[in-house]
């Protein structure tokens, strides 16, 4: 006889509320849920595994992507869902490489090239945004917060950035997910300016640890995702 679970049983197992389970269902992340006596939900093994998969996806990936993956599987687009996840693994690899590049860059006094691009002291906001992999709006926000400083082109009034400010932008963009307070970031940039690297090294090592933890969560999510896909296919057979 197939296993049947009540919402309360599933909620206790996952450590979430039944409201959370209903929200996932309302978001279209689950296979159709049958109803029993009194119109109560009756979750099967495939639903339990769907919930487990969602929780792990949310630990390793952003919410929109996790939801998109689950909706694609529900719509029968399993291969598309797997390619979405694969793309995120590539992004994680690039983020790790970028952090490691910036760790080396911070200590390099002759910082005149980055990613094989020759740097100058008159770079536009578009140029530094592309090099740092962030939106120009983020750079404007950091300038407003006093983290970076730009000059103005005397001919057109547009912002220009020195190599030193690009370095700061790269540091901020790499640590913004692990250092949440503006004053802490300011202190860190001052440490770099003064060639005092102990705190800087600690911050970057923490960033790398966070990436390592995220990678483990992503692979755990993939393992649960494959179990879920197997159950979905078994039910369709």
Q: What is the DSSP string of 49-97?
A: HHHHHHHHHHHHS-HHHHHHHHHHHHTT-HHHHHHHHHHHHHHHHHHHH
Q: Residues 148-156: what's their mean pLDDT? A: 88
Name the more confident of 205 and 22.
22
Domain total in the chain: 2
* CATH number where 72 lies: 1.10.1660.10
pLDDT-based confidence at 110, cuts 50/70/90? low
Is 98 a domain residue? no
Name the more confident of 194 and 75.
75
pLDDT digits (tens, 9 = 90+) for 175-200: 877 766 678 888 888 887 787 778 88
Is 183 a domain residue? yes
What is the tally of helices (H) and strands (E) in the chain?
10, 5
Is 99 a domain residue? no
Strands 123-124 and 113-114 turn out to be: unpaired
Q: What percentage of the chain carries pLDDT values higher than 90?
A: 51
pLDDT for 109: 60
Greatest mean pLDDT range, 25-39, 41-55, 98-112 = 41-55
Mean pLDDT (the chain) is 89
Question: Is 113 in the same domain as 175?
Answer: yes
List, in order, residues 6 or more apart from 191 with CB less than 8 Å away.
197, 198, 199, 200
Name the more confident of 176 and 90.
90
Name the more confident of 67 and 185.
67
Domain range for 187: 108-196
pLDDT for 1: 46
Question: Is 116 in the same domain as 180?
Answer: yes
Q: Residues 119-131: what's their mean pLDDT? A: 92
The residues facing 160 across adjacent strands are 124, 151
Q: Residues 215-224: what's their mean pLDDT? A: 96
């Amino acid at each position: 006889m197939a296993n049947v679970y009540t919402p309360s049983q599933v909620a206790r197992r996952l450590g979430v509320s039944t409201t959370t389970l209903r929200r996932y269902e309302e978001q279209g992340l689950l296979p159709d849920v049958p109803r029993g006596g009194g119109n109560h939900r009756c979750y099967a093994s495939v639903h339990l595994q769907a919930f487990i998969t969602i929780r792990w996806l949310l630990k390793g990936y952003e919410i929109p992507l996790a939801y998109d993956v689950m909706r694609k599987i529900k719509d029968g687009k399993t291969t598309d869902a797997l390619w979405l996840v694969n793309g995120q693994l590539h992004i994680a690899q690039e983020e790790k490489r970028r952090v490691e590049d910036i760790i080396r860059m911070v200590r390099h006094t002759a910082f005149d090239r980055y990613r094989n691009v020759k740097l100058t002291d008159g770079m536009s906001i578009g140029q530094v945004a592309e090099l740092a992999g962030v939106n120009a709006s983020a750079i404007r926000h950091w300038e407003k917060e006093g983290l970076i400083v730009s000059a103005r082109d005397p001919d057109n009034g547009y912002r220009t950035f020195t190599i030193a400010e690009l370095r700061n932008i790269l540091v901020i963009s790499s640590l913004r997910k692990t250092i949440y307070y503006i004053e802490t970031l300011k202190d860190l940039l001052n440490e770099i300016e003064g060639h005092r690297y102990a705190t800087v090294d600690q911050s970057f090592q923490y960033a790398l640890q966070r990436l390592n933890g995220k990678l483990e969560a992503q692979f755990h999510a993939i393992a649960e995702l494959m179990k879920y896909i197997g159950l979905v296919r078994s039910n369709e057979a």
